[in-house]
Structures are given as structure tokens and as C-alpha cells.
A and B are shown apart, each in its own frame.
Chain A
Amino acid sequence: MKRFADLLELLALTPSRTRKIAALAQYFAEVPDPDRGLALAVLTGEMDISNVKPALLKQTVLAEVDETLFALSYDYVGDLGETIALIWPHHGQGELPRLKDLVALLNTTSKAELPGVIGDLLTQAAIHERWALIKLATGALRIGVSARLAKTALAEMSGVELQAVEEVWHGLKPPYTDLFAWLEGRAGRPEVDHTARFHPLMLSTPIEDSDFERLEPRDFALEWKWDGIRVQLVLGRNGASLFSRTGDDIAQSFPDVVEAAMGRAVLDGELLVGHDFEARSFNDLQQRLNRKVASAKQMAELPGFVRVYDMLFDGDEDIRALGWAARRARLEAWFAKNPQTRMDLSEVLGFASWDDVARLRRQGADEHGHEGVMIKLRTAPYVPGRPKGFWFKWKRDPNVVDAVLMYAQRGHGKRSSFYSDYTFGVWKGNEIVPIGKAYFGFTDEELKQLDRWIRANTLGSFGPVREVKKELVFEVAFDSAQASTRHKSGVALRFPRINRIRWDKPAHEAARLEDMDAFVG
């Protein structure tokens, strides 16, 4: 347990991602089964100790600590687990059991006896061990470590590709002894039922100008790039699941889509909302994504559907090794056999030359708001990850606006001594109102220049934030703009980034709020 507590503390405090991964990899390599697997479950949010809830912990601590003093302390510290770790008044000399025994103890103790058992554990533990113990018991980690980071560390430790780890991950259960046996070469790859799990997605790379010269148009197929979210629909033996691109199951938010699906397959497509397969804006989709459980009203107003563009499994058959054209044929045949009400096929567009594609891309963006086009090699198998040369995306040109830097904030990690997060705005009458924030799009050299400029042109400091003279213009690129009630300007930008720093441009030539209307759609 001490080892696990040390690991959690390091993960919570080390800003460097590389160092976090190294610490995780070392932990997984050195700690025996099943302890390391239980630790992995805690880190990936798969640990569930059902009887230990915040209310029970509070009851445990209030048996030993005055309620008023506890409330004042909790108010100050802000985190229940940490408050309990710090305030527990008894200090013993013992050592906490290893993870395996600890988890077993917490899982097998009756609810009535748990407060006493937890109290004894808190007394035995050092303060940072108490904190780890409570994190473990409640499952609420909140230390800035994602499941993906833990899996990246598994890949690092074993030399197995991250994709291969993700490929089996969703079929496995704690304490993952079969996974570790495979990663260490002591056993074969764990057998998992494909019909109940997520399969890592194939991703595209942006097309470069130089690509067009060497690529032959007739080797490629063309589709619209839809402005929704990428999903995987798994229609298995025991029902349907809907996964986001990172493998989170979002079926609960979209029961309308999941329940209407017919047949057996694993499909790749875009989740959209709208009646009769008329896709509404991303903003509308966002309203449904924000809700964990969909309301009847929302489902009536913004019905979900999936626009399918690829097939990974046809029934039980893995067809990922087939080329795109063969998979597409299987997909169309499957659709003909399994009529759907909340799924349609993504259209394959005809074209003869790259010029045709360029024209279509422009038209699609201007007339239908498509995000761009997808260009797919007809012979390409379905390869998880981001293989080169198979799928290209050609996004519509970004929107750009000249905005004025208003505030700068220090960054994190290796950027912590630089002002690297920028809030910028546009003119509204004689004042400047903020329209967004961006923290990338510039080189390290430009960051140094910006940092110098900000320090030399500061009007005031508010904690980590500096207000600067309204003199520096950024050309800000963004994907789209939406009306927003949260921003004073009434506009919010999607995916804003610094395109260029306009050292040359005077602030009074920056955009006006009226100019933004053209982008809000």
C-alpha cells in the first residue's frame, strides 16, 4: 500500500507527462499480481468498492472529530478525502496491508463494521497513505491521470503497442492478471468477445499540398467529413453498445439510437442529431451530449442517428483486414438485409480529379456546412490508430479573425514560467470584449517573444493572470462560432488557435463584434 500511495502522490504532483508514464511503468513492472492490477483498476476508474461511500467515511470521522471543527476544516481544504486524511486524530505505528488484502477486507466487511475497520486503517496509515486509502475506497481519484495514460504506461513497460493494449482492454476485468501475463510474454493474448467491447478506431491524417502530386485520384474514394462526433456501434449477441472515439460507452445518452439498431455488426460512423437524417448543427448535438441520460423531450426534438461509413465486423466475422472497397460492399449488403430507422449510409461522392475534390470541398462547406472531405484509399485495411497514407482529411479552410490580446495566464508544466494562455477579444463600440482563449498555435520562439511582450506591457495582475495593454493583435483561426450566453461578447469560438501574431497590425484595425455575425450559424 505504501508503494501505491507514493505512486499516487507522484502522479498528483508531477507536472511532466513523461515522468508520470515512467513512474507508472516502473510500478507495473515491479509490483506483483494481483496488487498492480488492482492499482490499475483504481487508475482507470474500474475499481468498485460498493459499500464505501462518502457518507460512511464522514460518519467514521465524525465519531472521532467535533462536527463543527470538521465542517470548518472541510470548508478550508475543499476535498472530503483529503480533509479526512489530514484531520484523523489518531496515529499508530502499524503498516497497511497490501492492496490485495486491503481490497478484500473492504469488500467483505459488513456495512455495520466498516466504520471501525476504516478507522483502524486510518490510524495505522501515514498521512499520504490515508489519502491514497480514501481515493482507493471511493474511486474518486481526481489527480489528473487518465485511463489512457495508465494504458500508455503499460505499453511503455512491455513494448506492446498502445493500440494492441486498447484492443483487448474493454474485454478485461480487474486484477488483469491475464493482461500482465501477455504483456510480459508469459502467455498469449487474452481472448475477448468482440461483440461486447470497443475496438480502437482508425484515424486520418491531414492531407498536404505535396500529397496531391503523388496520389492517383482513382485509387481513392471520397466522402463528406460530417460535423458530429465519431462513434462505434457494437451490435452484439447481448445487445447494442455505443462508444465514443475514446471508448466511453455513451449508450445511456442515446437510447433512441441504440434501441432502434437491428442486426449484428461492429460499425464505424458519425453520431448526429436531426429529423429524417437531416443533420442539425454541432451545437444541437452538444445539447444531447451534455446530458448523461436523455430526456424524452430532447429525444423528440433532437433525435439521434448514426451516419455509417465503415464496418469492422460483419456478424461475427472480423473483416478489418479487407480493403476499404470490399468492406464498403459488405456494409451495403448488410444494410440491405438489416433495414434501419436510426442509421443511414454515408454517401460516396464521385470525382475525377483533385480539382473536383477541391470544388466539392468548398461547395460542401459553403452550402451545407460540412467540415470538409475524407479521402480514403480503396485498398486500405482497417488499421487502428493513425496509419499514414490510408485515410486523409481535408478540412475546409478555417475561419480567421484578427483579435486583440487582453489577458495572459501562466501555463503548466514546462510552460509554468511563461505566460502562455491567452484571452483575446474584438471591438464592441469603444471597448474590447473577450471572444475566446487559446494556448497553442505558436512556436517556442514566439512564446518567448510573447512572454517578454506581456511582462513589458502589463497593466495589472490578478493572481496568475495579467491584464495587458490592448495593443497586440493575433490572427485567430477557429472551426466555427456559436452564439453564447456565457461570454460577454455573446460569441464562443470552437477550437480557437493562434494562427499568426500580427506584430505589425495596430489594435484599432482588429475585428469588430459585428464582423463575428457572419460566422455564427
Chain B
Amino acid sequence: MNRTSSSDVVRIMVQPILNRDLYCPAIDAWIDPSTPKPRAIITHGHADHARSGHGAVLATPETIAIMKVRYGEDCAGRFEALRFGERLSMDQAVVSLHPAGHILGSAQVRIEAAGQRALVTGDYKRLPDRTAEAYEAVDCDLLVTEATFGLPVFQHPKPQDEIARLLKSVADQPERSHLVGCYALGKAQRVIALLRDAGWDRPIYLHGAMIRLCELYEELGVPLGELLPATGMPKAAMAGQIVIAPPSAIRDRWSRRFPDPVVCQASGWMSVKQRARQALVELPLVISDHCDWGELNSSILESGAGTVWVTHGREDALVYWCKTKGLEAEPLALPGLDDDGGEGGE
């Protein structure tokens, strides 16, 4: 009779691989906690996932660099970088990070313990994007997925088509400035990259809040072309130019320095016209850094998970859908997560 193994069995049964607050008992760490914790694993640098004040932070080198730029070098007691695909043995578990395709450095976190595999996607998208490492499908038993666009009305169009609409509007109205409202981290750099890939080689003008993060992307190997500060330019010189700014700035006083600005906004929410109208957006660009409904569906099925926890957005529809596919599913109410998945602006 082996007492030790018998007590191990008991412990495995009472101790799940992941709690509903995304605490992992086997390694005594939280994933994307909303309050300071002794040990945290951070999926990506957006403010509703990465916060300052943790004791130790495990993340990709890119996410660590982003956190240091946003919150300061000493925003965590200690940083530990883990590269995509590396397997890190911690206590009784193995942790690995896998590209989520959301923004530069964004990762899905997989934890393997006691023969079980849990995957926390963080935010993710599957469309190609040269400013983020390409999404990788990862097998798991328990999937924790986001549901920012978890309704079947969200069917994201090709981002290249949206950029073409922007460039057509610029060509049709050369006397006006186009102000593109973008979240400063990730979306801004992606829109710039899409513009470059579509052949826009003129300088792109930046709101002050964008500059440091764009520099960081370039330092980390993502070329963005010529970028200039938008402020300090004579008004007339801004006709026909494209300006990237946070959504809050494009409708506020800041926008008065541009000639007859066309208010644009790049966001998955922009597919809903009533939302665009309410936000006084004249040119909505449906460019999202999250999966749409179809991509969420296929990601869930491809993961092979039998249990799905849904968080971060419109959980009800996705939970319902999982159940129609015979999966166990429940919504997770996590504190402190931005309902708009960081796409509504800071």
C-alpha cells in the first residue's frame, strides 16, 4: 500500500488545474490578475490585462518591454521572460506561451499539470498581421476563451478592404485631414502597417500618446515607415494627411487643429452603424484585433477542449453555442476587464 500516491490522488481531485479567478494552484500564480499578486503570468500588454505592482511577472520578452515602457522599469518586483514554445517546469506543472496574434508579444498561456492541459487565450485573433506573431492553435482540455465579439453579428471584413476605403476617402477629399481613432497599443501600429502594405508611403502623423509605443514596435523589429508628430504642423499642411490618434482625442479639442477633419475609427465595433453614428464617426473602419464569431467557433472546436470557460465580453451567446455543440461551458465574470476588450479606447 503506497500512502503517498493515495494522498496525491486525493490532492489532484480536490485541486483543479485552474480556478475561476484564473489562479493556478499548482504553480501558485494568477493569469492577468486585476490586483497586485505575488506571482502573475501576463498574456499581453493592454491595461486591462497587464497591471503594475505584481511581485513577479512571467511574460514574453515583448510584453515585458511594453509593460516597462507603459508603467516604468520597476512596475513589477521581478520579470521572467519566456519565449514562445519554450516549456518551463514550475513546481508540479509545465507552463508554455503560444502566439495569440492579438498584438506584439501577445500570448496564450498553457498549463499542464497532473495530465490535464488548460489554455487561457487572453485576447486573440487569427487574421494575418505583420505587427504580431501569428496565432497558433493549441490543444487543451480546459479552454478559457475571450468573447469580445461573441455574437454572430460580428463577421469581420478583410482589413485590407477597410484600408482601401480609407485611402479612397483620402483621395476623394484631398482638402480634409483623416483622423483615425485607434487604441494606442497594437491597433495603431497595425493600421500603420496596413497602410504601408497598401502603398501609402507618405509620412503618417501621430498623436503624442502613440509615439513611444510606435518607437518600441520599431525597436522590436516592426518597421512602420516615416512617422511624424501631428502637433506643431501648420493647419493647411495637414490637408490630405492621415493622422493616428486615440479615439478620445479625435472628437475633442485636439482635433480642431486639423482642416475639416474626417473622423474615422478603426475598431471591430464599427460594423454596427448605430454605434458609429452614436460615436459621431464619419468613416467607420471595421478593423479588429479580436476573433469574430466564426473564428471563435472554429478555435473552440480545434482546441479539442471538453470544457470551455467564456470571459471578456458577450459570454451568453458563446456559452449557449458551446452547449449546442455538446461542450461543457460556463461564463466567467472576471473583475476589472474592459468590456470593449481595449478597443473602446483608454
Contacts and interface: CB of A to CB of B under 8 A. Distances in A.
Contacts of B314: 72, 76
Contact of B282 (A15, A65, A77): A15
A72 B151 contact: yes
A65 B153 CA distance: 11
B321 A69 contact: yes
Contacts of A73: 151-153, 317
Contact of B274 (A9, A14, A82): A82
Interface in B274-304: 274, 276-277, 280-284
Contact of B284 (A13, A65, A87, A451): A13
A12 interface: yes
B174 interface: no
B282 A13 contact: yes
B200 interface: no
Contacts of A82: 272-274
A9 B286 CA distance: 14
Nearest to B314: A76
A324 to B, nearest CB: 46
A68 B251 CA distance: 37
- What class of interface size applies to chain B in its complex with A? 20 to 34
Interface stretch (B77-85, B107-115, B252-260): B252-260
A66 B154 contact: no
B316 interface: yes
B34 interface: no
A412 B263 CA distance: 12
A125 to B, nearest CB: 13
A460 B257 CA distance: 26
Contact of A69 (B251, B255, B277, B320): B320
A15 B155 CA distance: 26
B164 to A, nearest CB: 13
Contacts of B280: 15, 412, 416
B4 interface: no
B151 A69 contact: yes
Contacts of B256: 417
Contacts of B128: none
Given A76-B153, A77-B274, 7 more contacts: A13-B284, A66-B324, A72-B317, A76-B151, A83-B153, A86-B154, A131-B273
5 nearest A-B residue pairs (beta carbon): A86-B153, A73-B153, A72-B317, A87-B153, A73-B151
Interface of B: 151-155, 157, 251-253, 255-256, 263, 271-274, 276-277, 280-284, 314, 316-317, 320-321, 324
16 contacts: A9-B273, A13-B281, A13-B283, A15-B280, A68-B317, A68-B320, A72-B151, A72-B320, A73-B317, A76-B151, A76-B153, A77-B272, A78-B274, A412-B280, A416-B263, A417-B251
